[in-house]
Structure 1
Amino acid sequence: MTIKTTLMGAAVAFACTAGAAQAQTYTMTLAHVLSDTSPYQVILEEFKSLIEERSGGDIAVEIQCCGQAGNETRAIQSMRTGILTGGFVGGSTLENVVPAYRVLSLPYLFEDKAQAYEILQSEMGREMLDLLGEFDMYGLGFGSIYERSVASKEPARVETIDDMQGLKIRVLPTPGFVEAYIAMGTQPTPMSYGELFMAIQNNVVDALEISPDAIVADGFYETVNSYTMTRAHQSTTVFVLSQSWWAGLPSDVQEMIQTAADDAIAVGIEAHDRLADEGLETARAAGVEIIEPDLGPFMEAARQSWDVILTDQPEAAEFKDRFEAFMAQ
């Protein structure tokens, strides 16, 4: 064998090795707790399609829906430790980990869903996402906003704030939501989402706060009689990744994932808005009474919880002030 042949062989071997390094493959396991027809699923399926196509198959995505990875608290812990690559979680659940996110549980913080989107898609929203890095997570973006109102069974029909007094209502298991509904005079009952259908069906609770799309997607329209558009919370959602997994990626792969996430979130928001509108119509057609109350008294009562929710939470209070300044412009 000549020296020239040996050098050519070495060059080919090096090129093959370099090519193999460039063709590094990644597998992403992404989880959420909602159904396989939910906006969470829509976003993650769109993300899967986009990233697998754009990476030429070098990034594969597995989606675990319906709480397969446990409830949101457990899923977040799995993301922080790297057991899960990431997924979709509620901003209200994150408040138990990230103090600044307590601001997202303030009732009637935003005027409406459009305003919530405007603020959370701004630089202030990106700052909130960047805070996740301190807690071993990376925030790809805020997703759909779930406008939550009160669904109830007879005789617990809500037309005025007086009808809320003593109402036993299931709320998200976070301090902010509990305090908000205490201020409105109810008996807030935190429980996991998986327990909720049986709880309302068996009269363990009189009512629940929920978005209109979820009433239909998870069958609640079959057991509740009325849906009162209190709109107390514009509940946020977040596309989260494990910080350790994210930090180990080359910058070009990070950029590809971020862009695919942005595009998928836009598709998911549009799908969610459509599902919310359709949910109201489906519920109404099924005999659920849709009630539009005067929101003034609800706002006045609920906002009395703000100081309690923000107690010893300076970061959350600062974001609240910044949001209000932005909205006042």
Structure 2
Amino acid sequence: MNAFKTLIAGAASTFVLAGSASAETYNMTLAHVLSDQSPYQVILNHFSELMEERSGGRITVEIQCCAQAGNETRAIQSIRTGILTGGFIGGSTLETVVPAYRVLSLPYLFDNKAQAYEILQSDMGREMMDLLGDYDMYGLGFGSSYERSVASRNPVRIETVDDLAGVKIRVLPTPGFVEAYNAFGTQPTPMAYGELFMALQNNVVDALEISPDALVADKFHETVNSYTLLTVHQSTTVFLLSKSFWDSLPDDLKEIVQTAATESIAVGIAAHDKLAADGIETARAAGVEIIEPDLAPFMEKAKTSWDIILKDQPEAQEYLARIQAALGR
């Protein structure tokens, strides 16, 4: 009888412990540097709604927009150490941590956004997400690709590749951007994004490379005169989490989180595509000249930077070969 009571007590104890584990709750703090009207925010808002709906209250989400958690470099550090749960980060910033990601900053790696999505949403893209595990992060998926072109103030006007010679242009502070614009013969000038509007107005720089949605969202269309659709970079974005947080989740919640992230990314891509198209039309209506040049000479010059960008980066070189093969080049 005593043995029977002991067995029942043990079973009850096991049931209570199991119930406690299943009832454990998790709070996610997700950060990004863009505005609360950006595609990043659209994605994270949708993700938050799905978490509330599908996790039964076991996961709550707090969103920090507008660089509340610091710039992307700081956010990556916070995610890797578990201070932040995760967020949306530009692939160009991640390349400073994950060497293989440098391939994604090659100019004209993809002909258009459709090609970028074809690769990044494929098994190869998932493989590149999995590389983040070696750096204390977990990748939920690639988000929107931002087609970056060149906006300029008078007297600079970019119609041919020779028009870029000597132009002082603000670029992202990564090898893929600096070396691409070196190849064009410009004076690439990395600077903080928050300083850029005044730098344009004071003629510190003549031009900037930027996506059409950001051109309008951040009011640069009010200070530039032309926007040349060079689409030099398909700038990638990544939805990532702290690996320590991901590893702490039970399998059922991992499935809910991953599925919700994939669905939310699709919503965000559609939102971004519309904002990009609307951005060009808004800029045009505001008097900005939209120039659509022959891209072949620009591609030819820009691609001379590839070997420099990927020098001493064997993993990135391997991905380049695989991407080229997948695109039938």
**Which band: TM-score by shorter chain?**
over 0.9
The count of aligned residue pairs is 328
Residue 285 in 1 paired to residue 285 in 2?
Answer: yes
Distance 1:323 1:172 in 2: 23
Report the Cα offset of residue 21 of structure 1.
Answer: 2.3
| 2:36 alignment counterpart | 36
Which letter maps to 2:311?
T
Q: 2:17, 2:229 → 1: CA distance?
A: 61
Cα shift at 1:295: 0.7
1:122 shift after superposition:
0.6
Residue 50 of structure 2: aligned partner = 50
2:80 aligns with 80
Is 1:305 aligned with 2:327? no
Aligned residue number for residue 224 of structure 1: 224
Please list the CA deviations of residues 205-245 of structure 1 after superposition, one character each: whole Å capped at 9, or x if unmatched. 11110100111111111111110000100110000111111
Q: Can you give the 5+ residue segments of structure 2 that lack an aligned partner in the other structure? A: none
**In 1, Cα distance between equivalents of 2:313 and 2:13:** 58
Look up the match of 1:247.
247
The corresponding residue for 2:100 is 100
Q: CA-to-partner distance for each residue in 1:231-276, whole Å, 9 max, x for gaps?
A: 1001100001111111111111111100000000000000000110
1:52 Cα deviation from its structure 2 partner = 1.5
Give the TM-score, by structure 2 length.
Answer: 0.95
Residue in 2 aligned with 1:113?
113
Q: What's 2:62 paired with?
A: 62
Structure 1 unaligned regions, length at least 5? none
Q: Which residue of 1 aligns with 2:262?
A: 262
Quick check: 1:35–1:218 contact (8 Å CA) kept in 2? no
TM-score if structure 1 supplies the norm length?
0.95
The letter of the residue matching 2:92 is S
Partner of residue 22, structure 1: 22
Aligned-pair CA distance for 1:18: 3.6
CA apart distance, 1:60: 0.6
By how many angstroms is 1:320 displaced? 0.5
Question: What's the secondary structure of 1:141's corresponding residue?
Answer: strand
User: Match of 1:324?
Assistant: 324
1:20 Cα deviation from its structure 2 partner: 3.0
Instruction: Give the equivalent residue in structure 1 for 2:127.
Output: 127
Residue 140 of structure 2 corresponds to 140
Q: In the aligned structure 2, how far is the partner of 1:241 from the partner of 1:151?
A: 34
d(CA) in 2 for partners of 1:10 and 1:222? 72
- Mapping 1:143-162, distance limit 5 Å: 143-162=143-162
Local SS of the residue matching 2:36: coil
Distance across 1 between alignment mates of 2:9 and 2:282: 68
Supply the AA of the counterpart residue of 1:155.
P
Give the alignment's Cα RMSD to 1 decimal: 2.0
Please state how far the C-alpha of 1:194 moved relative to its aligned partner.
2.2
Contact 1:180–1:305 (CA<8 Å) still a contact in 2?
Answer: yes
Instruction: Find the aligned partners of 1:129 and 1:23 in 2 and give their Cα distance.
Output: 30
Task: Report sequence identity in percent.
Answer: 73
Q: How far does the alpha carbon of each residue in 1:273-329 deviate from its partner, in whole angstroms, 9 at most, with x for none?
A: 011011111111111110001111111110000000010000101100111111117
State the secondary structure of the residue aligned to 2:327.
Answer: helix
Report the more deviating stretch, 162-171 or 200-209: 200-209
Give the whole-Å Cα distance in 2 for the aligned partners of 1:273 and 1:227. 18
- The one-letter code matched in structure 1 to 2:210 is I
> Within 2, Cα distance between the matches of 1:232 and 1:264?
27
Q: Which amino acid aligns with 1:317?
A: Q
Instruction: Give me the whole-angstrom Cα distance separating, in 1, the residues matched to 2:118 and 2:250.
Output: 31
Q: Is the 8 A contact 1:144 1:237 kept in 2?
A: yes
Matches within 5 A, 1:153-192: 153-192=153-192
